[in-house]
A and B are shown apart, each in its own frame.
Chain A
Amino acid sequence: MAEGDAQDTDPTLVERWLQDQQQWQRTLFTYLDSMMKNDEFLMHMGNAMRGSLLAGKPYPTATPAPAPADDPATADRLDKVLFALHQLQGQVKDILMTLDEMRGGRSPAARSARKKTRVRKASSGSGRKTGKRRTRS
């Protein structure tokens, strides 16, 4: 009997074909809906069609050629100056770190990290102080 019931409830080939067609329509509309509502979806789709699931940024292609500088020699000199400034920035940071060590302290980063720790300790320590007062009184 059970077998007969199963046969009764099993969809026919035609019914399955119709269901599949409806599912395909649903899939198609889901994609169309995402294309309309999600600005980045087409980009993600484009990436997927290139075989990549790269998300959130355009698929890297050859780096576009830089815009030709009016005077390449000037651009080169400017880049050298800019990089020299980066080097100088590093040296200044070194000096600041050394000064900080000489003062017996630490770097600004360390100070801010310690400050946070002190705040945490202070907030947990205040409970202890309150406790002491209560004991004394």
Chain B
Amino acid sequence: MTDPGRERELQAMLAHSEKTRAKLDRLHEVLTSGGHYGTGATPATVVYQENKLRLLRLLDASGQPRSGPPVLFVPAPVSRYFILDLLPGRSFAGHIAGAGFDVYIIDFGTPGDEDRFADLEYFVDGLVRRCVRTVSAISGRPAINVVGYCLGGTLSLLYTALYPSTVSRLVLLTTMIDGDVKGGIAWVAHQMGLAGESYDNPRLVPAAEIKGWFEMLAPGSNSLMGRVNDLWERLDDPPDRLRDVRTMATWVDDVVPAPGRLLAEMYQQFGPGRNRLIAGTATVGDRRIDTRAISMPLLSVSAATDLIAPAEGVDAIRLLVPHADVMRLPGGHVGIVAGRSATALWQRTVQFLQEG
């Protein structure tokens, strides 16, 4: 006769052992299955190249470009573009293309040492403008739809103010407007010494440093032990879900270096205490930015729990463009674009673009 107490103990130990093994088996399955990383999920063709930039045009299932109204996605140049085209079924750009639009995405690429001299003018009046020209030429339309995400939204806003007749509808996603609103990446960068970034003698700001700014937004969340524990807990999830996590982790870790001159200029113009967009004194090169020129329909979306671009700072677009359609969605900076509840944003964007 065995002791019933001891037997219960042994059963609990066995159950624990089985559970641990199941987690390891699941981890093995995820690690040996094909990964998706570094590229967009939707088939695309390169229609324009300049320096490290590639302009991608999404293709349909038969490998042909679509012929609907053109939409140009402008991601942030400090992160990788594929957050906008993350996974089959979880792709913002793919969803817009599926609604019949002819979708283009800018991949700014990874800057080299010489690109540390790139400034706002190079990006806005150079790269973005020539991408818009290319899309316009391909589609045969003088004005196209532009969707800017995060810092890419800032570039899109500045471009639109300079060349309003070339943009038919503008969507700004989690794009910081009021730099004086506390919190967010600009404040962290300010505290971490971005003010010391030199415009005249710029450096290529290492990816690890930029990643450090993001990690400062949620101290501890990216600690080694925290991440290992988090992963271990997640191994109860089904493999499909784990593959999603794996793809998202790839993007989060895949920050690219940034041109120091661009960061210095953006800080000097839009950073805490400067706030030249709100003051109406922002410039691109020698040209003053007049946001009153933005008369086309504009949709601005903020994320309620955004740690990178606080919602209040994003919603301040109302001060610059009073007719802007401003909405706030539940979720974080990345979640509203590529998370499991991102369909709310995707559907609203399609609806807004179809109103045109």
Contact A89 B50 (CB under 8 A): yes
- Chain A residues, Cβ within 8 Å of B64: 116, 120
Contact with A along B90-117 (1 / 0, CB 8 A): 0000000000000000000000111111
Known: A53-B231, A53-B245. A30 touches B11 (CB 8 A): no
Question: Separation in Å of the A43 CB from the closest CB of chain B?
Answer: 10
| Chain A 5-36 near chain B by CB (<8 Å), digits 1 or 0 | 00000000100110010011001001100100
A34–B29 CA distance with the chains assembled, in angstroms? 11
A93 close to chain B: CB less than 8 A = yes
Asked if A27 contacts B24 (CB within 8 A), the reply is: yes
Whether a CB of chain A sits under 8 angstroms from the CB of B242 is yes
Q: Is the CB of A86 within 8 A of B47?
A: no
Contact of B118 among A57, A83, A97, A101 (CB under 8 A): A83
Q: How far is the CA of A45 from the CA of B32 in the complex (A)?
A: 10
**B113: A residues at CB distance < 8 A:** 66, 79
Which one of B137, B208, B231, B246 lies within 8 Å of A60 (CB-CB)? B208
Task: Note all chain A residues with C-beta closer than 8 A to B24.
Answer: 27, 31
B37: chain A residues at CB < 8 Å are 54-57
CA distance A38 to B29 in the complex (A): 13
Nearest-Cβ distance from residue A109 to partner chain B, whole angstroms:
4
Per-position 1/0 for B116-130, Cβ under 8 A of A? 111000100011001
Please encode chain A, from 101 to 129, with 1 for each CB lying within 8 Å of some chain B CB and 0 for all others.
10000110110010010001000000000
Q: Is B28 located at the chain interface by the 8 A CB criterion?
A: yes
> Is A86 touching B17 in the complex (CB atoms < 8 A)?
no
- Which residues of chain B from 1 to 58 have any CB-CB distance to chain A below 8 Å in the complex? 2, 7, 10-11, 14, 17-18, 21, 24-25, 27-28, 30-32, 35-38, 47-48, 50-51
Contacts of B211 in A (CB 8 A): 60
Q: Is the interface of A mostly helix, strand, loop or mixed?
A: helix
User: Are A55 and B35 in touch, CB under 8 angstroms?
Assistant: yes
Contacts of A63 in B (CB 8 A): 206-208, 257
Report the bound CA distance from A53 to B31 in whole Å. 8
Task: Give every chain B residue within 8 A of A53 (Cβ-Cβ).
Answer: 30-31, 231, 242, 245-246, 249-250
Known contacts A55-B36, A113-B65, then 17 further A-B pairs from the complex at CB < 8 Å, ordered by chain A residue: A30-B25, A31-B24, A51-B226, A52-B227, A54-B37, A54-B246, A54-B253, A55-B37, A55-B246, A87-B122, A90-B51, A90-B130, A94-B130, A109-B48, A109-B134, A110-B140, A113-B138
Going nearest first, the 10 A-B pairs with the smallest beta carbon separation are A51-B227, A55-B35, A53-B246, A82-B114, A63-B206, A51-B228, A107-B137, A79-B114, A110-B137, A106-B137
